[in-house]
Amino acid sequence: AKELLKEAGLESGFKATLKLPPPSYARLGGEIIASELRDVGIDLEIVPVEWAQWLDQVFTKKDYDLTIVSHTEPNDIDIY
C-alpha cells in the first residue's frame, strides 16, 4: 500500500473523512479500517452521522470521501 501511495505521488499519505451510519457494526468496521489505513499513512477522520444525514449527504448528494454501509441481518438463522 505504501508503494502504491508513493507511485500516486502521495508518499506522505493524506487525510480524508469516513462518514459512518449508526449501526455499531459499521462504526466498529470503520474504526478497524481507519486503524489499518493509519499504518500506511492515510489519516481518516471518522464522522458519525444519523441515517437521515447519511441518506441525504452520502447516498443522495454524494458528499463524502469514504463511507461504509453495512447491511447485515442479525445473527438469527431462523429469520430465513
Instruction: Delimit the domains of the chain by residue range.
Output: 2-72
CATH class of 2-72: alpha beta
Helix, strand or coil, per DSSP, at residue 23: coil
| CA distances (Å), origin 49, targets 9, 10, 26, 42, 79 | 31, 28, 11, 21, 28
Global confidence as pTM: 0.79
Please write the tens of the pLDDT for every residue from 13-56. Answer: 999 999 999 988 889 999 999 999 999 999 999 999 999 999 99
pLDDT at 33: 95
pLDDT at 43: 98
Band (9; pLDDT cuts 50, 70, 90): very high
